[in-house]
Amino acid sequence: MKFPSLLRRRAVVALLLCLLLALGFAGLLAYLHSPSRGLPYRDSFAKGTAEEWKALGGTWELANGMMRNDSDERGAKLLSGSPYWHNYSIEADINLLGASGDAGLAIRSRNEEEGVNSYSGYYAGLRTRDNSLVLGRAEHGWMEVTKANPTPGGIRPFQWYHLKLLAYDCQIVAVVTAPSQAASTSIAINDQVCVQSGRIGLRSYSSGGIWRNVVVRSATRQDLTEMLRGAGPEGNPEPKSPVAEGPQGPSELPSAEQRKAIPRSNANTQNIENLLLSSFATPAVVTVRGVVVLTTPVLFVQDSTGGVSIPQPTAPPLKVGDEVEVTGEVHPGDFSSTMEHATVQMLWARTPVPPVSVTASQASTGRYAATFVEVQGRLAGKERGPGNTLILDLDEGPQSFRAIMNPGRGDYLFSKLKPDSSLRLRGICVVDSAFTKNLTPFVLLLRSNEDLEVLAGPPWWSTGHVIVLIVASLLLALIGVFLYHRVEHWRLRAILEERERLAHEMHDTLAQSFAGIGFQLQAIRNGLPDQASPLNQQLELASNLVRHSHEEARRSIATLRTEDMESEDILAALDRCARRMVEGGTVEVVAQREGDQRTIPLRIADTLYRIGQEAVANAVRHAHPSLLTIRLAYRGDSVCLLIEDDGDGFVQGSGLSGFGIRGMRRRAQSISAAFQLQSKPGGGTRIRVEATLPPRLTLASWPKLLWKYGKEHWIDGRSARHVHSHSYRG
Amino acid sequence: MADRRDTSIRILIVDDHPVVLAGLTSMLGTQAGMEVVGSASGGEEALEMLRTNAADVVLLDLRMPGMSGIDTLHALKRAKINARAIILTSFETDEDIYRAVQAGAQGYLLKDAPQSDMIEAIRAVHSGKRYFPRHIAARLAERMMRTDLTSRELEVLHMLARGLTNKEIGSALAISGNTVRNHVNSIMEKLEVSDRTEAATTAIHRGLIELSN
């Protein structure tokens, strides 16, 4: 009962393993779906990392340890956290960058897509237009539920507010505090059928914003009541149809109130292009008007004729897309100018200018210096520059250039970039040697990592891949060869075992019967009184036939048992066989080999051996020779066996020898070998068998052989067998 | 009749094959001076018969199911039954001949030997001589000159011929791979061969091992 118990033990072990695996999987799933995994969360913007955040729209960038979105895009989102978070609060300090939109926090957000209100969840925002704190639900459409006007002061851009948003069961509470004032304003909603869980998000609408100190904590009922104590009238979301357009209104143009606030613009503005014509010697003070294209590290302003860099300006907080008026000293450069000691006046917010698509060669001429361009290139290398900036080395054709990214959210993308990828980059083309270090004709200053787009990964035939492929295919080939040899080995072993079984069978039946019948015939002959009668002669012939058959059967058995013909080769086997037959006699046996020995397929070797055995036996038994020569000659594609004796010889076609010869001839035919016999009385006997061999295995013959093997294998499985028996030794 | 019984040679034939038994009984029965006193199809039966019925010469087949010819010879010796045995077989490997002689066989004949040889052999053995045809004698002499393999070496040789590696043999016999290697080296030395394959081939040729069991 050793076997079943072993099996049972194995089954138990397998079952246990499965159970463990299932448990582990369930545990992992439970962990991943846990409503508080990763809580509490505190942002690491100050350390300059924000890999866990995912942007949908906007130009989210880390600057001075804060997350900043300069774009006026409506509904730009930055998301993080687990979609299984259920009861929790999120709080952050928020600073609006524009006067015509809102910015805030999203909670329990899911199914997010790029677009204005393309998510499911709750959002609390600070809105400048009507100085309010709004709270509502987005369901791929906006449902504003409640709003409150924080007093005093309302909501102003460029001022820090602390916003806290809490979700507990179906109650959502938002509280806003202006740091300068102790008073806080809060609003709450009780949603009947609420979004149960979701991620957190930073979101802005038309204004852009800065976020810092984002903290997410698990919330309890106590937290909720504490927050509700200060909350204003609780709103109930009415099942009104969602408004696709936000309540914020699509107003892009400055409102009447804002227009009043716009400072008067200088009538003597110049085209930026004209600044290049200014004198070097006496810096003139001029005024230009344009759109902000970059704020950090240097302010760049661009109009329809060109761009200008403005280091260290006196300026209000600006963001990309603002229409500004700059007054300052002009310092013309080779390709673009610089304005120093400049004062910047913000006129109004505008859509950011689109980039000009140029080639790297065009950009390197300087024609596009200080302007916002789009260039394609192949990534040649990447490195980290001073101040932890990320530097990309790129090529486009013969032209190489550099791109500089700010660290932070770009880190992750940067580490993912593979050399030889094809990239599309948008940024300010700078030819100033302060940035280029005279290494490349121009440098692109990227605004955010949304300005970098991977068009195509590196081609698969990189050196590493090719080496891996070669190694893998070599390994596969090795495994294939190994398996092939193993299988061949097993097959041959099975054949040998079958042959051995057959030999036993033949010995036990055929050979014994021949022996018995021989004895019986002898007994009949013994009983006959007249030794010379024809009956006696016939009986003698009969017993000779039986003895011959017995010998043949014994030889068949011996051949079947001949363990491996190839490993000791036919010549040695025949030599041994002949020596055994002439043992104690005076016959001299000579064995000779001609040509280079090579492997002979098992079937051919077998047949040659048996023909040789028969020939040797005939010679020894009947011809009384003094010399027996066995010669095996290897030619190019054939092998020739020659057995020669100097004995009596015989007249062909007479007597018993006819049987043996016919047998040899038949055997030779079975392997398509040429059989020749020469003998005359008194002149000895010479038997020659020439068999064609399959083509030798060389590198060139492999495909041909494989094809042939495949064909034979399908057409006739048996005949294919001998083709590959060379691996017999295995 | 009584006179004939006293002078004729009493023969017992032991062979598992009925055709051989019948043929031999007929053939030897017709010979003057010989009497087939019984035929047995196996070693046990032969022993049983010899206990009650004395025979002068036993013609013994080597390979029989159950008790083999050699086993029967040993059993005869143990039972102190005084009978002279001639091995009559279709096998002629060195080892068969050697073992038969060691077990006390007085003669060795192949089944395809002519009648005259057989008669001569029976007469010779009956008269107290030994009978070995020339080529059998030559092989016996050759075998005598070689050193015997130990039983452990035979075990190893058996597994080696089945294509097992040293490691596999070691784990099967619960000995280390190094010990197996030593055994293999010793086997190759005794068989006067140069590699494992040749050792296996030679062992099979000489009848040291059989693959089928």
- Using an 8 Å CB-CB cutoff, list chain B residues near A508: 17
- Using an 8 Å CB-CB cutoff, list chain B residues near A558: none
Shortest distance, CA A517 to any CA of chain B (angstroms): 6
CA distance between the termini of chain A: 35
Phi and psi at residue A170, to the nearest 5°: -110, 20
Q: Is the per-residue pLDDT at A246 higher than 80?
A: no
Which pairs from B37-41 meet CB under 8 Å and 24+ separation? B37/B10, B37/B11, B37/B12, B38/B12, B38/B13, B39/B12, B39/B13, B39/B14, B39/B15, B40/B12, B40/B13, B40/B14, B41/B14, B41/B15, B41/B16
Instruction: Tell me: do B161 and B182 sit in the same domain.
Output: yes
pLDDT band at A656 (very low <50, low <70, confident <90, very high): low
* CB atoms B138 and A501 under 8 Å: no
Q: In CATH, what number is assigned to the domain containing residue B168?
A: 1.10.10.10
| A485 close contact with B: CB closer than 8 A | no
Q: Is the per-residue pLDDT at A321 higher than 60?
A: yes
Write the residue in A496, A563, A583 that is nearest to B135 by C-beta.
Answer: A583
Q: Is the per-residue pLDDT at A561 higher than 80?
A: no
Instruction: Tell me: do B107 and B10 sit in the same domain.
Output: yes
What are the boundaries of each domain within chain A? 41-235, 270-349, 356-456, 463-561, 565-693
Chains A, B: CB contacts under 8 A, how many? 98
pLDDT at A1: 42
Q: What length does chain A have? A: 730
| A551 close contact with B: CB closer than 8 A | yes
* CB atoms B23 and A516 under 8 Å: yes
Q: Is the per-residue pLDDT at A124 higher than 60?
A: yes
* CB atoms B63 and A554 under 8 Å: no
Q: Which of A315-329, A664-678, A710-724 has the lowest mean pLDDT?
A: A710-724
| A621 close contact with B: CB closer than 8 A | no
* CB atoms A516 and B21 under 8 Å: yes
Contact B34, B28 (CB under 8 A): yes
Instruction: Tell me: do B109 and B155 sit in the same domain.
Output: no
Residue with tokens 């590699």: B195
Structure tokens that stand for A324 in this block = 């500004």
Q: A570 CB contacts (<8 Å, ≥6 apart)?
A: A600, A605, A608, A609, A612, A632, A641
| A518 close contact with B: CB closer than 8 A | yes
- Using an 8 Å CB-CB cutoff, list chain B residues near A518: 23, 111-112
Q: Which CATH class is domain A270-349?
A: mainly beta
Which among B144, B176, B195 is the end of a domain?
B144
Shortest distance, CA B51 to any CA of chain A (angstroms): 27
Instruction: Give mean pLDDT, residues A350-364.
Output: 86
| A498 close contact with B: CB closer than 8 A | no
Reported as a single tens digit per residue, the pLDDT across A59-103 is: 888 877 888 888 778 888 999 988 899 899 999 999 888 777 889
- Crossing angle of helices A463-506 and A534-561, in 10° steps, is 150
Residue that wins the pLDDT comparison between B32 and A552: B32
Question: In angstroms, rounded to a whole number, what is the distance separating the alpha carbons of residues A416 and A419?
Answer: 10
Q: Is the per-residue pLDDT at A437 higher than 90?
A: no
Please indicate, yes or no, if residue B212 is contained in any of the structural domains: no
Instruction: Tell me: do B80 and B48 sit in the same domain.
Output: yes
* CB atoms A520 and B135 under 8 Å: no
Q: Is the per-residue pLDDT at A371 higher than 80?
A: yes
Instruction: Tell me: do B192 and B130 sit in the same domain.
Output: no
- Crossing angle of helices B115-126 and B18-29, in 10° steps, is 80
pLDDT at B204: 78
Domain that holds residue B103: 2-144
Question: In angstroms, rounded to a whole number, what is the distance separating the alpha carbons of residues A595 and A638?
Answer: 11
Please indicate, yes or no, if residue B213 is contained in any of the structural domains: no
Question: In angstroms, rounded to a whole number, what is the distance separating the alpha carbons of residues A165 and A90?
Answer: 5
Instruction: Tell me: do B97 and B186 sit in the same domain.
Output: no
Question: In angstroms, rounded to a whole number, what is the distance separating the alpha carbons of residues B105 and B68?
Answer: 13
What rounded mean pLDDT belongs to chain A? 81
> Out of 3.40.1280.10, 3.60.140.10, 2.60.120.560, 3.30.450.40, which CATH number does the structure's domain A41-235 have?
2.60.120.560
- The one-letter amino acid at A146: T
Reported as a single tens digit per residue, the pLDDT across A145-157 is: 888 887 667 788 8
Instruction: Tell me: do B169 and B86 sit in the same domain.
Output: no
* CB atoms B90 and A554 under 8 Å: yes
Which of A519, A550, A556, A567 best tests the B interface by mutation, with the highest count of B CBs <10 A?
Answer: A519
Q: In CATH, what number is assigned to the domain containing residue B22?
A: 3.40.50.2300
Q: How many domains does chain B have?
A: 2
For chain B, give the percent of residues with pLDDT over 90.
Answer: 14
Write the residue in A516, A518, A583 that is nearest to B138 by C-beta.
Answer: A583
Reported as a single tens digit per residue, the pLDDT across B83-140 is: 899 998 877 777 888 888 888 899 999 888 888 889 999 999 999 899 988 888 888 8
Q: Do domains A356-456 and A565-693 have the same CATH topology?
A: no
Question: In angstroms, rounded to a whole number, what is the distance separating the alpha carbons of residues B88 and B109?
Answer: 5
* CB atoms A564 and B201 under 8 Å: yes
pLDDT at B135: 80
Instruction: Give mean pLDDT, residues B63-83.
Output: 87
Instruction: Tell me: do B80 and B28 sit in the same domain.
Output: yes
pTM > 0.90: yes or no: no
- Residues belonging to chain B with any Cβ–Cβ distance to chain A shorter than 8 Å: 15, 17-24, 26-27, 29-31, 63, 90, 111-112, 115, 134-135, 137-139, 163, 197-198, 200-201, 204-205, 211-212
Please indicate, yes or no, if residue B132 is contained in any of the structural domains: yes
> Out of 2.60.40.180, 2.40.50.140, 3.90.1150.10, 1.10.10.10, which CATH number does the structure's domain A356-456 have?
2.40.50.140
pLDDT band at A722 (very low <50, low <70, confident <90, very high): very low
* CB atoms A520 and B22 under 8 Å: yes
| A580 close contact with B: CB closer than 8 A | yes
Write the residue in A500, A514, A517 that is nearest to B212 by C-beta.
Answer: A500
* CB atoms A568 and B201 under 8 Å: yes
Reported as a single tens digit per residue, the pLDDT across A150-196 is: 766 778 888 888 899 999 988 899 988 887 766 788 888 888 888 88
For chain A, give the percent of residues with pLDDT over 70.
Answer: 86
Shortest distance, CA A544 to any CA of chain B (angstroms): 10
What rounded mean pLDDT belongs to chain B? 84
Residue of A nearest to B142 (CA): A583
For chain A, give the percent of residues with pLDDT over 90.
Answer: 15
Please indicate, yes or no, if residue B35 is contained in any of the structural domains: yes
Residue with tokens 């928020």: A94
- Torsion A160-A161-A166-A172 (CA) sign: negative
pLDDT at A267: 64
* CB atoms B30 and A527 under 8 Å: yes
Instruction: Tell me: do B155 and B140 sit in the same domain.
Output: no
pLDDT at A192: 84
Residue that wins the pLDDT comparison between B60 and B205: B60
Strand-pair partners of A422: A378, A456
Question: In angstroms, rounded to a whole number, what is the distance separating the alpha carbons of residues A373 and B147?
Answer: 95
Q: Which of A260-269, A337-346, A401-410 has the lowest mean pLDDT?
A: A260-269
Phi and psi at residue A113, to the nearest 5°: -135, 170
| A490 close contact with B: CB closer than 8 A | no
Q: Is the per-residue pLDDT at A252 higher than 50?
A: no
* CB atoms B17 and A516 under 8 Å: yes
SS3 (DSSP) at A535: helix
Instruction: Tell me: do B85 and B127 sit in the same domain.
Output: yes
| A527 close contact with B: CB closer than 8 A | yes
Shortest distance, CA B97 to any CA of chain A (angstroms): 14
Please indicate, yes or no, if residue B211 is contained in any of the structural domains: no
- The one-letter amino acid at B213: N
Question: In angstroms, rounded to a whole number, what is the distance separating the alpha carbons of residues A28 and B110?
Answer: 79
Shortest distance, CA B184 to any CA of chain A (angstroms): 18
Q: Where are the beta strands (DSSP E) in A385-496?
A: 390-396, 399-405, 422-430, 443-445, 452-456
Residue of A nearest to B65 (CA): A508
* CB atoms B211 and A518 under 8 Å: no
Which among B144, B174, B195 is the end of a domain?
B144
Reported as a single tens digit per residue, the pLDDT across A196-207 is: 889 999 999 888
Contact A181, A153 (CB under 8 A): yes
Of the candidates A201, A214, A209, the residue with the CA atom closest to the CA atom of residue A79: A201
Element (H or E) spanning A336, and its range? none
Q: Is the per-residue pLDDT at A14 higher than 50?
A: yes
Phi and psi at residue A247, to the nearest 5°: -70, -10
- Using an 8 Å CB-CB cutoff, list chain B residues near A729: 197
Given the cut 0.85, state whether the ipTM is greater than it: no
Reported as a single tens digit per residue, the pLDDT across A688-721 is: 999 988 776 555 666 776 777 777 666 654 444 4
Architecture of domain A565-693: 2-Layer Sandwich (3.30)
Q: Is the per-residue pLDDT at A554 higher than 70?
A: yes
Q: Within 10 A of A182 (CB to CB), how many other CB atoms are there?
A: 7
* CB atoms B134 and A583 under 8 Å: yes
Q: What length does chain B have? A: 213
Phi and psi at residue A665, to the nearest 5°: -60, -40
Instruction: Tell me: do B157 and B114 sit in the same domain.
Output: no
Q: Within 10 A of B4 (CB to CB), how many other CB atoms are there?
A: 10
Q: Is the per-residue pLDDT at A728 higher than 60?
A: no
Instruction: Tell me: do B135 and B156 sit in the same domain.
Output: no
pLDDT band at A241 (very low <50, low <70, confident <90, very high): very low
Window 710-729 of A: residues touching B by CB (8 A cutoff) are: 729
